[in-house]
Structure 1
């Protein structure tokens, strides 16, 4: 059955790119509501509700941005959305008092912890999933510089990701993970966003990453990890890219029965992939999810004890 959060979960922190304090509350919602953000700071008569939907996505390379028809935006939603999907929540209203979701520690672990504490409640409506019937791919660039993402048919939901960076602290990494049985919480939720030291100054000059610190991002410089404590996992970078992909795919509007494959892909490419999917007749269909199929989706049976010790 569809679910919602059982009680309100509240989070406070700082926006990664804006550097502004941010307060967020995830509240229960009815069946068929979906996931919506509400900008509580907007009081000028504009519509302050923004749907988590691929058509609301604004292609952005550094974070996931959604915008409604009134021009109201919410930025950096990927980590809270990964947590919501990873905890198996289908309906919620997310209130936010500014333009950007707080970055917390750079991962989804604190969001997951708060959502699990708040609990999950079943609703009187069946889950419907988007089943991929044939491969759909979006690619940008050519040759060694190509970045692409693809959705393929699958019996459940899997993510397969490959990255390659010149910095030796990251290098080439790849991982494939079945997202059922709480695997998101155990294997990905504590993996933090990362960047290269060479990019930090450029982002600051562009007015970005103003709230970034060594405490909420993994910063690398060739073979050195500059953040205190080093890496949580040797392949933390590719795991975080998988976390991002899960959050970005939440814009599909329903759970996916699919295998997602990403090669050097980012937020904008995943949004373009969703746009191409829904513009491709015959590549997908919506089906009601039975109990057996539901066990293959993220979030089923998630427990607080699944959170890694590093969280």
Structure 2
């Protein structure tokens, strides 16, 4: 009798404990701890991980569309060949580029600057005859869409002490895909520095005697650049000049210095056609481009 009463009391106690446990949300007779909802620190970690993942996806997408220079150098993207210069596509390409060229903010600013009347503007090779242009490197062989699609625009001081030459460099001028060939940049510097030197020589004729280059940064294709030149010194038949190629945001890409010498046969080379090739002032003192060893004016009195 006593044992029955004890068992009934024990089970009554267990039943009461079970009801209490159910009301409190705990699990009776469980040996493990109940799962806990995420704490504030855990939720913060989850949000940070989600944010990092989202940023990574966005950055990866933008990097694929607009790769930074190191990625472009290491993993260049292939580009289609430039259109034929005389095709409708090629003509439209050059016309659109010329319209963009004329509206460059840097060029517009120079044209409207307070000292704009101290400078003049010229387009080298624009008046060069076709029969001579076809066998010229920068005026003929490298001319066309995807290369040197438009004629350069020169802003030069009227005293010929310095100049700013704006040029567009197409993707067809690359060495490493997407990066302009260093030899092409040397050629452009040789020509633009020569112009500043030659117009300051006695007979307005000169040839390259020395050209030193310092490549500062890769020059990416499909962009406008400005070539800056400055006359440093003139000694008799020698002219020393310096200059640089810069992106429109002011990044120095190449630095250069050079010496040009007036050859002894300079008086044989006075030519109106060469003046047109280089781009001249309205009333220049017969500026000439580079000597090519040919007597282009047989009627000139040789001395």
Normalising by structure 2, report the TM-score.
Answer: 0.24
Which structure's relative contact order is higher, taking Cα pairs within 8 Å and 6+ residues apart? 1
TM-score by length of structure 1 reads 0.23
- Decide which structure has greater strand share: 1
More helix by share: 2
